Amino acid sequence: MTASDLFGAAERLRRDGPGLLRAFVRSHRGALSADLRFEVMFSRSSSAADGEPRSALEGESAGFCVSVCAGEGSGASGAAQTGVELGRLALRSQPTVAAIRAALEEAYERARLGAREKAALLRTLGARGRSLADAAAAPREPVRDAVPAVYRCDPRALAPDALGRLCHDASARVAELGPEIAYNAIAATSELREELFIGSDDTLISQCFSFSQGDCYVVAQSGDGHQEIYDSIGQQRGFECLAEGWRDELMPNPDLTTFALALAGEARDLAAAPVLKPPAGEVTVVTDPHFNALLAHEIVGHPSEADRALKMEAAYAGRSWFLRSLKDSEVGRRVGSPLLSACSDPTLHGFGHYRYDHEGTRGRRAMHIENGIFRGFLNSRETAAVLGVEPNGSARASEVFYVPLIRMSNTFLLPGETDPRAIIGEVERGYYVCGSAVPSIAESRENFRISARRVYEIEQGRIGRLYRSGSVIADSKEFFSRIDAVGNDLRLIAIPNCGKGQPMQVKRMSNGGPTLRSRARLGGG
């Protein structure tokens, strides 16, 4: 069997799946809806460490998740999901259909169990249980569509050692930089996915994606100093974006070797640089697009996720500074400078691109902040109904066997019109903060401390001394409100590892922004 055979399994389900789901809902008492997500993936990955090969893996996988909503006599309803990894069993129609039927039955029974428990609790709570009254999710228009992947080098057709040679070469050249490089690890992945979404309402969507990603980790030491840096590049393209680099206005990347060498050089420079001893009080900070990617991610993107705003994530990841209650939110209110705008847009060809989310809703640009005014959230069908808005197609799962959660796509701060060199040139005394490292945030992201890779002094408009271990500390609204310059240099950064949910779902997306200037305090080492 060749690797491409597993992709034929999706074809059979495309033909048989809709009928299977319709029949299931019709034949099960109280079943309100059922969705099936099915995915086939082919993946190659390799890694090298300290100039030597470390691992290589080629794999093909298949799996699915069924979601069922079901009610019981009193009107209470429950929701449940069953996720299964099928592997090569997906090559055979009968075991695949049998597994899907069994999962549907299991999810249905779970949903009914949950509905009965809820009904029992409602009987005891009476009026105190008003918030538990069932609300229908926002409706979905049935849709049929097919979206191909875009790539030049098909991951399935790559020479088996192509990724390995690239990683080995990059790691060896980094190690050759000298004894200051104490350790390096380089990894690369290229994969092809086909997702199938089938709804009991006749929705049938096929989406194919090609992802390629390179990861670099370097530890440098110099005298008493040391520095670790980790960073990634990636595109929804084939291996060509790692081997040759990628030219793109918004999200360019060099080839993996060049990227790794630059990262190692930076780590070496930082290991030899002094630790930042920050001044007391606020200073002028100019933050570069890479730093602002983490700002967009943590302070705009996550609190713009409607499930977080509606307090569904309170136990794991906190709430949102954009919404205190349904009657007290920042929607329509100023949260930042008139120069500040931010959005999520899955239609852009970044790492977070898609056409439909995992509820079968078409993804579209969602404005979060427009000229400093907060406009709205990323949502799902359930949360859109609670908020009384249209769904914007933001419910995605990191793997097919997980439940869709509200996730960022390409979430970024919009560019302005100012040359970043002019933004720096206007600063009499301040700091230029480059590259993001680690975030520390208050529970609703109303306050943050984000560490940077490099911090430079700015004197009379000129970039001066380099420091390490610096971070930016601010109240979120104050920082946004004091933005007085926004650059024209928007860049998106591939983020391969945003974690959310229980169990944890690690998702790829893009974040970014242009150069910004504001006021904040600095933290040091």
Partner 1 sequence: MLACERDLAAFEIYCVSAENRVARIAYTSDIACRGVEELKSHGADGFALRIVVRRNPHEIGIATEAADLSVAALRAALARARGAALVDPHFPGLPDAPRPRGREEVRASAAASLMRGGDRALVESAWGAVRGALAAFAAKPARHPERPGLVLGGDVTVVRDRMAIASSCFNDVRAEAGAHFSCSVTALVESLGAKGTASAFGTMAAEMQRVAARAGGEAVARALALGGGERPVGGNYRMVFGPQPVAEILNYMVIPSLTTGAFQAASTAFHGRFGAQVMDARLTLIDDPGAARGAIRRRLTCEGLPARRTTLIEDGRLVGLLSNFYDSHRLATDEHRADKLGPLGPAEVAFPAASGYRLGETAARRFDAGPGTAATNVIMRARGGVSERELIRAVGEGIYVGRVWYTYPINGQRAGDFTCTVSGDSWLIRGGRLAVPLAPNALRINANIGQVFAHPLGVGNRAAPVLVWGAPEAYYTIALAARDIPLSAIQASQSSME
User: Is there binding between residue 395 and partner 1 (CB under 8 A)?
Assistant: no
Which three-class secondary structure state does DSSP give residue 357? coil
Task: Yes or no: say if 450 and 438 are a contact pair by the CB < 8 Å rule.
Answer: yes
Q: How many residues bind partner 1 (CB under 8 A)?
A: 101
Helices 5-27 & 93-125, crossing angle to 10 degrees? 40
Least gap, CB of 263 to partner 1 (angstroms) = 14
User: Cα–Cα distance between 288 and 149 in angstroms, integer?
Assistant: 32
387's tokens: 């908020």
Q: Smallest Cα–Cα separation from 416: which of 514, 345, 300?
A: 514
- Interaction residues for partner 1, span 146-185 (CB under 8 A): 160-161, 164, 182-183, 185
DSSP 233-271: EEESS-THHHHT-B--SSS-B--HHHHHHHHHHHHHHHH
The full DSSP string for 363-414 is P--EEEEETTEE---B--HHHHHHHTS---S-EE-SSTTSPPEE--SEEEEP
Which are the contacts of 23, defined by CB distance < 8 A and separation ≥ 6? Answer: none
Nearest to partner 1 of 13, 80 (CB atom): 80
User: Site map for partner 1, 462-491, x if CB under 8 A?
Assistant: ------xx-x-x-xxxx-------------
Contact pattern for partner 1 over residues 13 through 52, marking x by CB under 8 A = ---------------------------------x-----x
3-state SS, residue 162:
helix
* Site for partner 1 contains 89 (CB under 8 A): yes
Q: Specify the residue, 251 or 450, whose C-beta has the smaller distance to partner 1.
A: 450
Binding of partner 1 at residue 272 (CB under 8 A)?
no
> If binding is defined by CB under 8 A, does position 402 make contact with partner 1?
yes
- Of these, 8, 75, 87, 464, which contacts partner 1 (CB under 8 A)? 87
Contact call for residue 325 and partner 1 (CB under 8 A): yes
The H or E element containing residue 448 is strand 447-459
User: Of the ranges 7-15, 193-201, 218-226, 248-256, which one interacts with partner 1 (CB under 8 A)?
Assistant: 218-226
Cβ contacts of residue 103 below 8 Å, gap of 6+?
Answer: 64, 66, 82, 83, 84
Site mask, partner 1, residues 97-116, x = CB under 8 A?
Answer: ---------x--xxx-xx--
Q: Does 417 bind partner 1 (CB under 8 A)?
A: no
Residue of 8, 59, 75, 425 interacting with partner 1 (CB under 8 A): 59
Using CA atoms, how far apart are residues 375 and 356, in angstroms rounded to an integer? 22
Do 336 and 369 touch, CB atoms closer than 8 A? Answer: yes
Residues 338-377: x/- map of binding to partner 1 (CB under 8 A)?
Answer: ----------------------------------------
Which CB sits closer to partner 1, 290 or 353? 290
Is 226 a binder of partner 1 (CB under 8 A)? yes
Tell me: does residue 82 bind partner 1 (CB under 8 A): yes
Select 376 or 420, whichever has its Cβ closest to partner 1.
376
Per DSSP (E only), the strands in 122-245 are 144-147, 181-199, 204-222, 225-235
**Closest CB 310 distance from partner 1, rounded Å:** 6
Stretch that binds partner 1, among 32-40, 125-133, 202-210, 419-427 (CB under 8 A): 125-133
Cβ(384)–Cβ(376) under 8 Å? no
Taking the complex as a whole, how short is the minimal distance between the CB of residue 219 and partner 1, in angstroms? 5
Indicate whether 227 belongs to the interface with partner 1 (CB under 8 A).
Answer: yes
Please, which residue, 511 or 515, has the CB nearer to partner 1?
511
Give the residue with the Cβ less far from partner 1, 443 or 459. Answer: 443
Cα→Cα distances 505→229, 400, 485, 499, Å: 23, 11, 36, 5
* Cβ atoms within 10 Å, residue 1: 9
